[in-house]
Structures are given as C-alpha cells and as structure tokens.
Amino acid sequence: MKRAVCPGSFDPITFGHLDIIARASSLFDEVVVAVLVNRTKKSLFTVDERIDMIREVTTKYPNVVVDSWSGLLVDYCKTNQIPIIVKGLRAVTDFDYELQMSQINLQLQNVETLFMSTAPAHSFLSSSLVKEVASYGGDVSSYVPAVLLERLKARLAENIGLDN
C-alpha cells in the first residue's frame, strides 16, 4: 500500500490545503493529513479542533485519514512507516525553506518529499492571510470551506475580545 503524509499547521485548513490533499489522494492508496504541533507558534484553534475541521471537510475522500504529531515530522513518518511527504509549493518564495526542509528530512530519516504546485487560484493563499482578512471582517468564503466560516468568525471574535 502506497502511503503519504500531508503535514501542516492547518490553522485553519484552506482551499489551498484541500486542493493538495485531494490531488494527493488520487495518487496514493492512503493519505494521512498530519496536524503538526508547533510549540513556538500561537494557534487560533486547538489541535483537536483542527483535526475535527479537517475530518469534516475531507469526508468525500475515503482514503484520507487525519492525525496529529508533536515532534519531528520524519519521526512521525518512521513510526508510521510512511515514506513520502507531500507538500504544496505556492511560489518561489516557498522554495528555499521547503527545499531545506526536504533535504534535512531526507538526511535525517531518508524520507522523500514530493512537491506539488499549488493550483494558480490558491497561489496567494495562507491560513495567516485568511485569519488576518477575517479578523477585519473581510469575506473569506472563497478561501475556507463554508462549514468552517462560522467557527472562524466566532473564534476570532473571542480572541479580539480578549485582546482589548
């Protein structure tokens, strides 16, 4: 069985992530979407909330499963015997860092990285931009699945309330 992992913060998952996950699911027998816990990054949603949201928007892909991991991505890959990481590349600005990560992951545990070009419609999209636009009341319905919009709005409202 050919398996791959699509890793990320997914805070929250966007149509850009979904596009990569959907395309990866047509290439592999199983795709694990792994929510990586980054202790240095403040997230809007908890890991469990992110897992729930990803599960909700990937139900139509039966070979997609969702998991989380705190630690090195390559250790997740080794522990779960997944030989391939799938990443989306949006633009050349992504390239330097992604190349470094793919090289260190190859050296650390011999895990390969497969880059897929992001669909042009999503090339500017990131979870950070979505949060910024939504926090000012902007329309993010073209960027995030409809079922997540209310949760995003509510969480941002709670957070803005806390900041004041």
Q: Catalytic positions, please?
A: 17, 41, 90, 127
Give counts: helices (H), strands (E), the chain.
Answer: 6, 5
C-alpha triplet 156, 122, 7: angle, nearest 5° = 70
Minimum CB distance to ligand PNS smaller for 40 or for 164:
40
- The residue type found at 47 is V
Residue 73 in contact with ligand PNS, rule: CB under 6 A? yes
If 0-12 CB within 10 Å is exposed, 13-18 middle and 19+ buried, where does residue 54 land? Answer: buried
State the minimum distance, in angstroms, from the CB of residue 100 to ligand PNS: 8
Minimum CB distance to ligand PNS smaller for 70 or for 141:
70
Minimum CB distance to ligand PNS smaller for 100 or for 157:
100
State the minimum distance, in angstroms, from the CB of residue 38 to ligand PNS: 6
Binding-residue total with ligand PNS (CB under 6 A): 9
Strand order across the 112-117 sheet:
64-69, 30-36, 3-8, 84-89, 112-117
- Contact string (CB under 6 A) for ligand PNS, positions 95-124, x = contact: ------x--x--------------------
- Contact string (CB under 6 A) for ligand PNS, positions 26-55, x = contact: ----------x-x-----------------
State the minimum distance, in angstroms, from the CB of residue 116 to ligand PNS: 14
Using the rule CB under 6 A, which residue among 7, 12, 16, 88 binds ligand PNS? 7
Distance of CA 158 to CAs 56, 72, 135, Å? 23, 31, 11
If 0-12 CB within 10 Å is exposed, 13-18 middle and 19+ buried, where does residue 85 land? Answer: buried
Rounded to whole angstroms, how far apart are CA atoms 48 and 52?
6
Residues at the contact surface with ligand PNS, assessed by CB under 6 A: 7-9, 36, 38, 72-73, 101, 104
